[in-house]
Chain A
Amino acid sequence: DAKTTQPNSMESNEEEPVHLPCNHSTISGTDYIHWYRQLPSQGPEYVIHGLTSNVNNRMASLAIAEDRKSSTLILHRATLRDAAVYYCILGHTSGSRLTFGEGTQLTVNP
């Protein structure tokens, strides 16, 4: 499985934008970039995913570099409920599993 690299932790203030980076230099052409988050005492929750183009949904935006070797999850206005561990995961079209790394622990300050 292709590997991703994320900072261990990040901090943000409430109602400010948050940019969570992810490096995936060994990504293959058919790997999708998935983001999940895990709130305390809950299972992982789907956030967003994309292949080549930037993506937007009600939760977040995903900005993918032109060479696809990195991506950034953007939370436009962080809330206290966004405090969680965020995982950047590559999903291959031929595989079925998600390979979780350590993720980024996001702290949101009031």
Chain B
Amino acid sequence: EAGVTQFPSHSVIEKGQTVTLRCDPISGHDNLYWYRRVMGKEIKFLLHFVKESKQDESGMPNNRFLAERTGGTYSTLKVQPAELEDSGVYFCASSQERGWLYGYTFGSGTRLTVV
């Protein structure tokens, strides 16, 4: 089975620009999560979708970040406008129902560099 796929693998943008990250979860996984690791810090939860609905977005840092999952399939995470402190690695994960019981599958991440 195909894993969780993230595009692009790397992105370098200037401060103030917009970047959109994409995540394709494992087919049939209703649960989709975004995490990120910024420089020197631990991996932090951003938000959780169940199908197309945002179940928990308490980890989103501010309103410059917008996540969508139209149709309940792939998801996008847009950063607009990007700031220097947004640099880091953004991970997407998906799970069947009850990920705490069956485990979560992560993508390889998108490394975002804001200059």
Residues of A within 8 A of B (CB): 32, 34, 36, 41-46, 49, 91-93, 95-102
The 5 closest A-B pairs by CB, nearest first: A43-B106, A91-B100, A100-B43, A97-B45, A46-B103
B106: chain A residues at CB < 8 Å are 36, 43-45
B56–A43 CB distance below 8 A:
no
B100–A46 CB distance below 8 A:
no
Q: With a 10 A CB-CB cut-off, give which of A41, A44, A100 has the most chain B CB atoms.
A: A44
A98–B104 CB distance below 8 A:
yes
Q: How would you classify the secondary structure of chain A's contact residues: helix, strand, loop or mixed? A: loop
CA distance A43 to B107 in the complex (A): 6
| B16 → chain A closest CB, angstroms | 28
A95: chain B residues at CB < 8 Å are 100
B108–A93 CB distance below 8 A:
no
List residues 32-74 of chain B with CB under 8 A from any CB of chain A.
Answer: 33, 35, 42-45, 48, 55-56, 59
Q: Mind listing 12 A-B residue pairs with CB under 8 Å?
A: A34-B100, A36-B104, A36-B106, A43-B107, A44-B91, A44-B104, A44-B106, A45-B106, A91-B99, A96-B56, A99-B45, A100-B44
A100: chain B residues at CB < 8 Å are 35, 42-44
The chain A residue sitting closest to B59, CB to CB, is A97
A92–B100 CB distance below 8 A:
yes
Indicate which residue in B4, B99, B107 contacts A96 across the interface (CB closer than 8 Å): B99
Indicate which residue in B42, B48, B107, B108 contacts A97 across the interface (CB closer than 8 Å): B48
CA distance A32 to B100 in the complex (A): 7
Known: A92-B100, A97-B59, A101-B42. 18 other contacts (CB 8 A): A32-B101, A34-B100, A41-B108, A42-B109, A43-B4, A43-B108, A43-B109, A45-B106, A46-B103, A46-B104, A91-B99, A93-B98, A93-B101, A96-B31, A96-B100, A97-B45, A98-B35, A100-B35
